[in-house]
Amino acid sequence: MTPMPRIVAALAALALSGCSLITMERLPSGYRPETTPRCGTGSGAPPVLDVLWAGMIGALYTDVALEWSEDPPVDDVERNDRISLSGFYAAVIASFLGSSYYGLRQYRRCAGARRAHRAWLEETRTRRDGSAPGAAGGTP
């Protein structure tokens, strides 16, 4: 693969990075279990996609680096171009991994809020039915 298609592929990957940043909603500040949480996508797929993209770009860079190891730069300009391209690949991979971290964090917060809301609903239901909190049924 020549350098230009690789650069185009890396630019396209950078443009597509951030599935988690785009799709994962934050849990509102001051959230209380009495309200239904409105956050997240309901699945952990966006962070996983971000990690997969980072892996694919890493594999692409590994291919480039292996070619470079067999063909040393002929002058300082080519050496600087390689350093710049390496930095670009690192930035692309970091953007995917950062997005994945953000997405996983939001997913965990939202899942915790959903669990807290379900627990609050169950506790409210058991109090209303007259049973002891945590009991698995209606009135004794």
Average pLDDT rounded to a whole number, residues 86-113: 89
Residue 35 Cα to chain centre, angstroms = 26
Residue 49 included in any domain: yes
User: What band does 10 get if pLDDT is binned at 50, 70 and 90?
Assistant: low
Phi/psi at 67 (nearest 5 deg)? -65, -40
* Cα–Cα distance for residue pair 113/22, rounded to 1 Å: 20
Per-residue model confidence (pLDDT) at position 117: 93
Per-residue model confidence (pLDDT) at position 19: 76
Residue 90 included in any domain: yes
Per-residue model confidence (pLDDT) at position 44: 79
Question: What is the domain count for the chain?
Answer: 1
Owning domain of residue 118: 3-22+43-129
Residue 11 included in any domain: yes
User: What band does 138 get if pLDDT is binned at 50, 70 and 90?
Assistant: very low
Per-residue model confidence (pLDDT) at position 88: 85
Q: Are 84 and 91 in contact (CB under 8 A)?
A: no
Per-residue model confidence (pLDDT) at position 139: 44
pLDDT at residue 34 above 60? yes
Residue 113 included in any domain: yes
Per-residue model confidence (pLDDT) at position 122: 92
Residue 96 included in any domain: yes
Residue 91 included in any domain: yes
Residue 38 included in any domain: no
Residue 99 included in any domain: yes
User: What band does 6 get if pLDDT is binned at 50, 70 and 90?
Assistant: low
Average pLDDT rounded to a whole number, residues 13-39: 79
Mean pLDDT of the chain: 81
User: What tens digit of pLDDT does each residue of 40-88 get?
Assistant: 656 778 888 888 888 988 898 888 888 888 888 888 888 888 888 888 8
Q: Are 93 and 87 in contact (CB under 8 A)?
A: no
